[in-house]
Structure 1
Amino acid sequence: MAKVTLMCAALVATSLTACAGLNADVHIANAAAALQGEPTYAIARLPSQDASADHPQFEALLREELARRGFVEVAGKPAHYLLSIAYDTRPRAIGVGADVGDCSPGDCPKPGVPFSLFGARTCQHSLTLRFFEPASGDERYKVSAVIADRDADPSHAMPLLVKSALAKFPFDAPPNWRVKLQQDNASGVPTVISVKPLQP
């Protein structure tokens, strides 16, 4: 009985590592007409983000990654895109029977019987970036990244989410992707290892 219990615990730990460890699920919309035109943007903030102590750090990470891809934030003059940033961290129920390899974006691992592994609650972190055309208000591109881990601090997840959401910029069809990352133990900076489409 003890041997079976240890095997089950090992399987659960392996599943959590495989799905939550350094993997993110990414979903995109409007890829066909994604981000054509001048690569300039301005960030549209919510009042709650203006008051958030963490938000400037999140914006700094995004600015850095977007600059690497040729996008420039403009101030005092019209931008080609308005960028909306939304992020969320919430507790998540984990199912022992979850099939990690087949979990879909925003649903990894699949919810089942809730339990706490070694007393740690699993959290789901998400980041959504939306690019709008200022004149018309039309959404031109939307990308969402989701990871799960046992750290409730969203600032720890944000570098992984930003790297994942911008791993291919812009992502094209299909709409669902799996991004694998590796985190440097010394610097804590994540790097993208692979970007693969998820099979329907």
Structure 2
Amino acid sequence: MKIDRWTRRAALLLATLTVLLSGCTTYVTTQVTAFSDWSGNDATRTYAFTRAADQQNNLELTTYERLVGNELATHAFRQVDASEARYLVGLSYGIRSDMVTVAEPVYYNPWPSPYWGRPFDPWGPWGPGGPFPTAYVNQSYPIFTHLLGVRITERASGKEVYNVTARNSGGESSLVRAMPYLARSALADFPLGNGVVHTVKIPVDKSGGTSNEVATTGAAPAATPASGAKVVQ
């Protein structure tokens, strides 16, 4: 009877934890750095995308331009033919992989429960080690850094007026899946001041896509002047 009572309590505890965890929101956190000499207004926000000669038939770039174009539209930008555009918008992007090593605990359980969880888990939810860490082992995991740069220049003069870079890192190995968060973060609160660095947090919705909610924090001036800004390839 005591075993049954403890089993029921454990089941209720696990059910409660499941409900609580299901209500948690996962965020994608992106660092954004902007350099700006912006003086445009809504009436003159016409633009066209510009590409290097070897990018003319790049389907990947077309996909990313569409995402950035959607975000530009929320700031009253209107895409037109290049010959009519006041601004030219160029994109740069990339992904880099690294390995990180984390020390993870090895657990020991002084009170094994041979009846809990049979037949699948006779030692309880912690495994044979139990809930008390006695040692640590190093585990290595891949981490991926995703990057998007958006550079806006005046078509007539070639003058750079806005240069923003968005960067985030995590376990996502696909740049395509990371790009909606990068595009939205890069153009959040447009136009940012010159030399501003801040963090943008975007929640992931239940289907795994971007949410409409955007939170920005921690704006701070950067040390590098706008004239020294470069788009990272």
Q: Same fold (TM over 0.5)?
A: yes
Return the offset for 1:21: 5.2
**Maintained 8 Å contact 2:48/2:82:** no
Aligned positions of 1:17-166 closer than 5 A = 22-30=28-36, 33-37=37-41, 38-75=44-81, 77-94=83-100, 116-117=140-141, 121-166=142-187
Report the alpha carbon displacement of residue 184 of structure 1 after superposing the two structures with TM.
Answer: 1.0
Q: Percent of aligned pairs with the same residue?
A: 29
Letter of the 2:65 counterpart: E
Q: Are residues 66 and 199 of structure 1, via their aligned partners in 2, closer, same or farther at CA, if it must alter by over 3 Å?
A: closer
Contact in 1 for aligned 2:196/2:220 (Cα 8 Å): no
Q: Distance in 1 between matches of 2:58 and 2:162?
A: 25
**Could you say which residue in structure 1 is the equivalent of 2:189?**
168
Distance, in Å, in 2 between the alignment partners of 1:152 and 1:47 is 28
Rounded Cα–Cα distance in structure 2 between residues aligned with 1:88 and 1:71 = 25
CA distance in 1, matches of 2:159, 2:194: 20
Residue of structure 2 equivalent to 1:5:
none
Q: Distance in 2 between matches of 1:24 and 1:82?
A: 25
Asked whether the 8 Å contact 1:167–1:192 carries over to 2, the reply is no
Alpha-carbon spacing, 1:180–1:76, altered in 2? closer, same or farther (3 Å) = closer
Q: How many residues are aligned here?
A: 160
Q: What SS does the aligned partner of 2:64 have?
A: helix
Q: How far is 1:115 from its partner?
A: 6.7
TM-score of the superposition, structure 1-length normalised?
A: 0.71
Q: Partners in 1 of 2:213 and 2:38 — Cα distance?
A: 22
* Contact 1:26 1:144 survives alignment (8 Å): yes
- SS of the counterpart of 1:180? strand
Cα deviation digits, residues 128-149 of structure 1 (max 9, x gap): 0011112221111111000112
Q: TM-score, normalised by structure 2?
A: 0.61
Partner amino acid, structure 2, of 1:133: E
Higher share in strand: 2
Contact kept in structure 2, 1:130 and 1:139, CA below 8 Å:
yes
Q: What are the ranges of 5 or more consecutive residues in structure 2 without an aligned counterpart?
A: 1-25, 104-137, 222-233
1:139/1:161 CA distance change after superposition, 3 Å:
same
Change (3 A) 1:47 1:92: farther
